[in-house]
A and B are shown apart, each in its own frame.
Chain A
Amino acid sequence: MAIIQASRAPAAPTLSSSASAIEVRGLRRTYGRGPSAYEAVRGVDLEVAAGSITALLGTNGAGKTSTLEVIEGLAPATGGTVSVLGLDPVADRGTLRRRTGVLLQRSGFSGDLTVRETLRQWGGTLTAPRPVDEMLALLSLHERADVRMLALSGGEARRVEVACALMGSPELVILDEPTTGLDPESRRAVWRVVSDLRDGGATVLLTTHYLEEAEALADRLEIMHAGRIVRSGTPDEIAEGHPSTITFSGAEDLPRDLAGVTRIVRDHGRTTLETDALQRSLLDLLSWAQHHEITLEHLDARTASLEAVFLSIADGTEPGSPR
């Protein structure tokens, strides 16, 4: 998967130049007590700049949702401090709820209400709800407005949840896997909605399993593993220092002095060259192949990618990542 720089979000607001919408220090969250206790969050520090999109990435069980639930005020922290829009998410929950929109990873609806009724019900609990028809149009739900919730597909129900999260025009939006279960078209539509939120001045904190989603949307990434944040920065900063790769099959006896190549890996007839100078290495490789009349099959060249970093964190080979 090549990183398409043009589709990436605008330059990241830096923490030093922006006020923080969310500040988390030394957050810990433990489930259960005694010998069976499980510490899901183990000292997380996190800052989300106002007016930015921050993506919280991580493998399953990394602690993302546990972290978000504390930020949302739905669960108490075992340790550490959390400040959301300058307020305590538990003690000031009533005030914060007017200013935040939350999309849970898993939630539900009363199946006997229609989509329109569900939005009217939700809107009736908000101080300043956006019109129902506006939300239906925003999430492309107008054709399903009078269908009962129990008859919706998973993706459609997810879009209703997104509509609820955004209906109160929140200044801070917390989205836990907003596009899970959506088809590619709907996913892109939600991306546009999220980008528009940021462009309108809102702050967005989201989690996702889709790395291309994080790269396309987020100004800043926080990668969690085993209850800790192990890498932070812009997508470029995070990928920095990781090698680009050239992969092919059909050539065995490669010269040892290809420009920029730092490592050669062979696996099931496929060769991967890791390089810190992708263009020079590729040029060198193609010249060599042409000179020896060798066909490099399934040739693929990639810049250093977030995926590579993510996978190295997940398998514990990333320096500093807990195993």
Chain B
Amino acid sequence: MTTFSPRRTANLTRWNVVLLSRNRLAFFYAAVFPLLPLALLFTGDRGDEALGARTITTGFLVASLFTIYYNVLSQFVNRRDELVLKRMRTGEAREVELLVSIAMPGALSTLLVATIVVPLAAALGQPLPVNPLLYAVLVVLVIATFSAFAFWTAAWTRSAESAQLTSLPLILLASVGPMTSSIPGMSDALRELLSLTPGAAMSDLIRVGWFGLDGPDATATTLSFAETGSQAAEPLLVLAAWTVIALALARRSIRWEPRT
């Protein structure tokens, strides 16, 4: 019995990075696009923690939706339609290695952005993450969730062009929480419902784990390292639940060949 091979996966990842670098638009989405929202850190009051949380949440949202989700979806659908995946499955590489290697360029780019943003934000007057462990868990869950959602979406995406349409529901689902969080006068029931979306959970984890903000209306750090743990339990559970759902959907629906 063969096991997961890091060597094979690293080799495949390397070539997927090469391919990504040769596709200008895909490369822009994967490597440059998530950096753009961080420009907001240069605006407004330096050290405004609420603004910092919003900006970094936007950066993460863009990274999760474009660097990971849309990038993985289009790469997978392209290779499936070109029958590259069908051929690769005849070799020694295991299916999980093929999937991980397709997700890795987006994952690495997201990791890079998640790393760069810490000193960048600090240099622009924002605090360092109050709970770095929570921040690391958030990055890992975001990568796993949105990669898995991409493989699931690919199952009902006929072509790379139609991915522009089939990706919309997930983009909407992930964006609705962070986009509506600052709308005044929202009912508690609706706010509670929106907090169950993956984007809202991501936003809450950044507010609590990085900035130590206590509650949706807080504007300054008040939570200690220990307190962030208990405050983050609910959004962490929500995001973990989305991760499990996404992985289960992907596992059930992977298609390696185009529909005939």
Contacts and interface: CB of A to CB of B under 8 A. Distances in A.
Interface string A143-170: 0000000000000000001001100100
A241 interface: no
Given A109-B82, A113-B19, A161-B87, A168 B11 contact: no
B87 A104 contact: yes
Contacts of B2: 94-95, 97-98
Contacts, number: 76
A125 B93 contact: yes
B11 A124 contact: yes
A164 B87 contact: yes
Interface residues on B, range: 20 to 34
Contacts of B90: 72, 74, 97, 102, 104, 107, 165
Contacts of B84: 107-110
Contacts of A264: none
Interface string A104-133: 101111111100010001101111000000
Contacts of A104: 83, 86-87, 90
Nearest to B80: A108
Interface string A69-101: 000101000000000000000001011011000
Contacts of A122: 91
A110 B82 contact: yes
A30 to B, nearest CB: 15
Interface string B1-23: 11000001001101100110011
B12 A110 contact: no
A124 B11 CA distance: 6
B83 A125 contact: no
B83 A108 contact: yes
Given A104-B90, A164-B91, 13 more contacts: A92-B1, A94-B2, A94-B92, A94-B94, A97-B2, A97-B92, A104-B86, A107-B83, A107-B84, A107-B90, A111-B82, A113-B18, A125-B12
Nearest 9 CB-CB pairings of A with B: A124-B11, A94-B2, A107-B87, A108-B83, A102-B90, A108-B82, A125-B93, A121-B15, A112-B22
7 contacts: A72-B90, A106-B83, A107-B84, A108-B86, A108-B87, A110-B19, A125-B8
